Amino acid sequence: MKAVVQRVECASVLVNETVVGRIGPGLLVYLAVVRGDSDREARRLASKVSALRIFPGSSRNMERSVVDVAGGLLVISQFTLAARTERGNRPNFGDAASGADAEALYRVFLEGLRACCLDVQSGTFGAMMKVSSVNDGPVTIPLEVLSPKT
């Protein structure tokens, strides 16, 4: 499972010109589910995102988590993060999980965040979305939780 986490002042997502998710200060999370991922990886990544210390505190620039600052989270499904680009110029998405598997684990990830965070918003899985954000910093962190090899 892969994510790109951005610290934002605000973020929103539109589907069919309708706002389906909006947050103030917090984290914008782009999430990709890869083949072989399970509930275990989804829960581990949700825990990692919620505990990631990338907000300023009193003595350090990166001291507090989104939970510590009572920030919002906007989660966007983005299978393109699973792209392989080693060969040629066209991305290969063969590592992305199937739509049904990805949607189920996307929901497990959201549940994991909702268990510890007050404001968790999301886009619409599989929809064409327009995401807007104002990055804070900017701070952008890639995260990956690997599934055990079978």
Higher-scoring residue by pLDDT: 150, 104 = 104
In the chain, the DSSP E strands lie at 2-15, 18-23, 26-32, 72-77, 119-122, 130-144
pLDDT at 15 over 50: yes
Active site residue 80: yes
Active site residue 150: no
Class of domain 2-144: alpha beta
Catalytic residue among 6, 18, 55, 80: 80
pLDDT at 150: 44
**pLDDT band, very low/low/confident/very high, at 102 (cuts 50, 70, 90):** very high
Distances (CA, A) of 29 to 87, 102, 105, 139: 27, 15, 15, 12
pLDDT at 143: 97
**Which percentage of the chain shows pLDDT scores above 70?**
99
Rounded CA-CA distance 77/10 in Å is 18
Phi, psi of 147 (to 5 degrees): -80, 150
Distant-in-sequence, close-in-space partners of 89: CB < 8 Å, separation ≥ 6: none
Active site residue 109: no
pTM of the model: 0.94
Catalytic residue among 6, 78, 109, 121: 78
Catalytic residue among 6, 18, 55, 79: 79
What tens digit of pLDDT does each residue of 26-50 get? 999 999 999 999 999 999 999 999 9
How many helices (DSSP H) and strands (DSSP E) are in the chain? 2, 6
What residues does each domain of the chain span? 2-144
pLDDT at 149 over 70: no
Distant-in-sequence, close-in-space partners of 150: CB < 8 Å, separation ≥ 6: 36
